[in-house]
C-alpha cells in the first residue's frame, strides 16, 4: 500500500468527520490507484472511482454515503472516461490534482496560487477542496469542486458568476443515465444590470426563470424551494450568485438539471420510502423563451390561448397569430408620442407578470418608484419600469429599453410592470371610465346589500326548513365550522363562472379566497335535491374528523335556506385526470412521480379501510376524485356516496349499482 493510502486509512480510523489527505513535503507527488475504488469519505459523502451499469468505463466522482442507490453529485472526468481500473489520482507538490490512466493525463486542475504543504479534503458539504496545510484561514482554498459544478447543486454551492476570477458556476446535465458528459442544456445567470436566471441550449435562450426580485425569481413565485430552505442571493462587483441553505438540518436535498422537459428538479430524500422524491421542478413547457414575441404574454393555465396580447396591443400579424405562430408578437393600438422634447405618454400598471427579458435594463437601487417613473419618461427608449426589489413596500428601480420580450401571466402572485403607452390610449381612457362606473356600481351595490341584509334578518327569524335543520344537526355533532353565506359568496365572487373549476354529479365546484387569504374550493350542492342533502350529510359524517395526509380536508360547510355548501382546502393542481388524459400535462408526470401518487392513494385507502374509527369504502374512486396539491401529492376527495361499516365488519351488501 502506498504512502497516501496508508495516510488515508489511518486518518479515517482517527476521524469520523471530514477527511484530509496530506502530502509528504519530501515526496514530489503522492497518489491513490483505482484498486481500492474508495478514495475518501465522511459522514455524508464518498469520493471514489465508479462505473455506470455494465460499462468498463471508470470515473472519479462524489456520491452520497448512506443512500443505497448510488447518487453521484460530481464527476471529475465527466467528458473523458478511464478504461478499466488503471486510474491513478495524484496530488502533487504544486497543489494540483492529476487523474491519470497509466501515464496519460485524463483530467487535472490548474491552481494559480502558491501551494505550501497542500492538503486534499472532502468536506461534509460534498465540496472537495485543496488547501495549504496549517493555513490560519482554512476556507482560503487553492481549488474546490464547488467552483466546477456538474449537474447537481448542493446546499451551499453557488450558481452564478465569479466576476473577479472569471469563473462561471453553471449546471449542465448528463447526456444520459450512463453517460455523465455534458449535455446540451445549462442552468445559470445571464449577465446584465438585472441578471436573469436562465436555462440555455447551447448559446440560445431556452427558458428565462427571471431575475431575483428580493423574494423569488420572477418566473417562479411561491417556489417550493423556500419551504425547506432559505435562498441567499448576492450581487456585487465581485460576484453574482444564489445559494440555498436548509431550514431543517437533517434533510438531504439537491437541485439537478436534466435533459428532459422537466429540466430542473428539486429532490428531497424520503428516508421511509428510501427514494428521492421530486419536491418541485421547472419544466420546459409551451412557454419557452420569446414564444409570444414582443408585448405578448404566455399563460400555461390557458392551453387554448397560450399567447395573448397585453391590453392596448393587437397581434402584429393576425394571420400568423390565428395559426398559432405568435413569434412576431403584438403592437400598440396607438403609437407613442415621445420625441425627446415633449411627450404625452403615460405608464399603465400591468399586474401578475413575470418581468420580460432583462438583457437591456438599467438598475438604480437608490431611487424610489416615483423617481424611476420620471426618469423612464424622459428617455424615449425606456419602455417599462418597476421596483428592482419587491420585498416590504418595494425599493429600487429597474428600467427596460426596447421591446418587451418573454412576458408571462400568472393566475395569482406575479409582479407589477409599468409599461409606456400613448396618453390617448383607450386603456387609460378605459381606466377613467371605469372609475365612474365603479363609483356608480358601489352606490347601487350598497343599496342592494342593504335590502339583502334587511331580508336576511327577517329570514333568520322565520322557522328553518326541515332539510336545513336535518343537515345542521349533523354539522353540530361533528364540530365542523359553519361558514356564513355572505362569506362564501364574497370569497367566490358570487359564484362567478370565472371561478368555476369543476362540475360533479351533485353540483358545481368553485375556487374562492377567504378574507385571511386562505384559498378554498366550494362544492355547491344542487338546490332542492335529496341526493344533495344525502351527500352533504355523508361528507360531514364521514370525513369531518378524518386526519390523514392523503385525504382532502373538509374545512367547514354552509347550510342556509336552499344553499348547501361544502368548503374544502384548495388543490392548486386540480384532479389527476387532467394530467393522465392530457398528452402535454402527462409529460410532467415521470414514472417516479406516478409511483408516489399511486403510493399516496394506497396509503389513503389503507387508512380508510383499516385505521380510521370507522371502516369506510369510498365507492367512487377514480382519477377525477384524486386531487393534487402544489407538490403533486395526491388527496382522495368526494365521499358523497361512501359507505361506513363497523370496526369488526368485513362484509356488506348493496341493492343497486353505484359509483365507479
CB proximity list for 192: less than 8 A, separation 6 or greater: 358, 359, 360, 361
Q: Which residue has the cell 365612474?
A: 436
What is the distance between the alpha carbons of residues 386 and 402, in angstroms, rounded to a whole number?
A: 15
Q: How far apart are the first and last CA of the chain?
A: 68
Rounded to whole angstroms, how far apart are CA atoms 472 and 565?
12
DSSP letter string, 284-324: --S--TTTT-TTEEE-TT-SS-SEEEPTTEEES-HHHHHTT
CA geometry: angle at 582 spanning 581 and 587, to 5°? 110
Say whether 612 sits in a helix, a strand or coil. Answer: coil
Residue 58 · residue 82 · CB < 8 Å: yes
**Euclidean distance between CA atoms 166 and 149, whole angstroms:** 15
**Distances from the Cα of 646 to the Cα of 173, 233, 337, 641, 643, angstroms:** 54, 56, 77, 17, 10
Residue 628: CB atoms within 10 Å: 21
Nearest Cα to Cα of residue 554 among 531, 537, 575: 537
Considering the candidates 151, 406, 620, 638, report the single residue annotated as catalytic: 620
CA dihedral (576, 577, 581, 585) positive or negative: negative
The three grid cell numbers given for residue 321, joined into one nine-digit string: 397569430
Exposure letters 7-27 (e unless 16+ CB within 10 A, then b): bbeebeeeeeebbbbbbeeee
- Grid cell 443505497 in the structure block, residue: 68
Q: How far is 387 from 87, CA to CA, in rounded Å? A: 54
Q: Give the span between the Cα atoms of 364 and 194, in whole angstroms.
A: 10
> What whole-number distance in Å separates Cα of residue 9 and Cα of residue 89?
16
DSSP state of 203: T
Please give the grid coordinates belonging to residue 373.
417613473
The cell 335556506 sits on which residue? 561
Task: Cell numbers for 509, please give them.
Answer: 365546484
Is the CB of residue 506 less than 8 Å from the CB of residue 532? yes
What stretch of H or E contains 645? strand 643-645
Active site includes 34? Answer: no
**H-assigned helices in 387-529:** 426-461, 466-478, 485-491
Residues tagged active-site: 620
Amino acid at each position: 500500500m502506498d504512502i497516501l493510502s496508508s495516510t488515508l486509512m489511518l486518518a479515517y480510523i482517527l476521524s469520523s468527520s471530514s477527511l484530509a489527505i496530506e502530502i509528504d513535503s519530501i515526496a514530489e507527488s503522492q497518489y491513490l490507484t483505482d484498486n481500492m475504488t474508495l478514495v475518501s469519505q465522511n459522514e455524508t459523502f464518498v469520493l471514489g472511482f465508479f462505473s455506470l451499469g455494465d460499462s468498463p468505463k471508470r470515473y472519479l466522482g462524489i456520491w452520497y454515503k448512506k443512500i443505497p442507490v448510488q447518487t453521484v453529485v460530481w464527476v471529475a472526468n465527466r467528458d473523458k472516461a478511464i478504461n478499466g481500473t488503471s486510474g491513478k489520482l495524484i496530488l502533487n507538490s504544486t497543489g494540483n490534482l492529476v487523474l491519470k490512466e497509466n501515464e496519460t493525463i485524463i483530467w487535472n486542475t490548474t491552481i494559480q496560487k502558491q501551494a505550501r504543504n497542500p492538503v486534499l479534503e472532502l468536506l461534509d458539504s460534498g465540496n472537495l477542496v485543496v488547501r495549504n496545510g496549517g493555513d490560519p484561514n482554512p476556507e482560503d482554498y487553492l481549488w474546490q469542486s464547488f467552483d466546477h459544478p456538474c449537474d447537481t447543486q448542493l446546499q451551499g454551492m453557488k450558481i452564478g458568476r465569479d466576476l473577479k476570477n472569471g469563473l462561471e458556476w453553471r449546471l449542465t446535465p448528463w447526456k444520459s443515465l450512463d453517460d455523465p458528459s455534458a449535455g446540451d442544456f445549462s442552468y445559470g445567470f445571464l449577465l446584465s444590470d438585472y441578471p436573469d436566471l436562465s436555462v440555455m441550449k447551447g448559446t440560445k435562450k431556452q427558458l428565462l426563470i427571471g431575475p431575483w426580485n428580493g423574494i423569488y425569481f420572477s418566473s417562479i413565485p411561491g417556489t417550493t424551494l423556500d419551504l425547506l430552505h432559505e435562498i441567499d442571493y448576492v450581487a456585487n462587483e465581485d460576484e453574482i450568485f444564489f445559494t440555498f441553505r436548509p431550514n431543517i438540518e437533517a434533510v438531504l436535498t439537491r437541485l439537478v438539471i436534466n435533459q428532459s422537459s422537466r429540466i430542473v428538479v428539486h429532490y428531497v430524500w424520503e428516508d421511509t420510502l428510501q427514494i428521492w422524491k421530486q419536491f418541485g421542478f421547472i419544466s420546459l413547457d409551451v412557454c419557452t423563451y420569446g414564444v409570444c414575441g414582443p408585448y405578448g404574454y404566455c399563460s400555461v393555465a390557458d392551453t387554448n390561448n397560450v399567447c395573448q396580447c397585453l391590453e392596448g396591443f393587437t397581434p402584429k400579424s393576425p394571420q400568423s397569430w390565428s395559426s398559432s405562430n405568435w413569434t412576431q408578437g403584438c403592437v400598440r393600438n396607438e403609437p407613442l408620442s415621445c420625441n425627446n422634447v415633449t411627450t404625452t405618454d403615460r405608464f399603465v400598471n400591468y399586474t401578475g407578470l413575470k418581468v420580460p427579458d432583462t438583457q437591456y435594463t438599467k438598475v438604480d437601487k437608490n431611487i424610489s418608484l416615483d423617481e424611476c417613473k420620471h426618469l423612464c419618461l424622459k428617455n424615449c427608449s425606456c419602455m417599462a419600469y418597476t421596483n428592482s426589489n419587491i420585498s416590504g413596500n418595494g425599493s429600487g428601480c429597474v428600467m427596460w429599453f426596447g421591446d418587451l420580450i418573454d412576458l408571462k401571466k400568472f393566475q395569482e402572485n406575479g409582479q407589477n410592470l409599468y409599461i409606456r403607452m400613448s396618453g390617448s390610449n383607450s386603456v387609460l381612457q378605459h381606466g377613467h371610465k371605469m372609475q365612474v362606473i365603479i363609483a356608480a356600481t358601489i352606490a347601487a351595490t350598497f343599496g342592494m346589500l342593504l335590502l339583502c341584509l334587511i331580508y336576511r334578518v327577517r329570514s333568520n327569524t322565520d322557522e328553518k326548513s326541515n332539510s336545513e335543520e336535518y343537515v345542521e344537526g349533523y354539522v353540530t355533532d361533528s364540530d365542523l365550522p359553519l361558514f356564513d353565506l355572505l362569506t362564501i359568496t364574497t370569497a367566490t365572487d358570487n359564484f362567478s363562472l370565472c371561478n368555476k373549476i369543476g362540475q360533479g354529479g351533485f353540483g358545481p365546484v368553485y375556487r374562492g379566497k377567504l378574507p385571511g387569504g386562505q384559498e378554498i374550493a366550494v362544492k355547491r350542492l344542487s338546490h332542492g335535491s335529496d341526493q344533495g342533502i344525502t351527500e352533504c350529510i355523508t361528507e360531514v359524517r364521514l370525513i369531518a374528523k378524518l386526519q390523514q395526509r392523503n385525504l382532502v380536508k373538509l374545512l367547514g360547510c354552509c347550510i342556509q335556506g336552499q344553499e348547501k355548501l361544502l368548503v374544502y382546502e384548495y388543490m392548486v393542481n386540480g384532479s389527476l385526470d387532467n394530467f393522465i388524459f392530457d398528452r402535454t400535462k402527462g409529460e410532467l408526470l415521470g414514472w417516479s412521480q406516478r409511483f408516489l401518487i399511486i403510493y399516496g392513494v394506497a396509503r389513503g385507502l389503507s387508512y380508510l379501510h383499516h385505521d380510521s374509527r370507522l371502516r369506510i369504502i369510498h365507492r367512487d374512486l377514480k382519477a377525477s376524485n384524486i386531487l393534487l396539491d402544489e407538490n403533486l401529492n395526491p388527496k382522495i376527495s368526494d365521499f358523497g356516496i361512501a359507505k361506513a361499516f363497523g370496526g369488526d365488519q368485513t362484509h356488506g351488501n348493496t341493492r343497486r349499482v353505484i359509483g365507479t
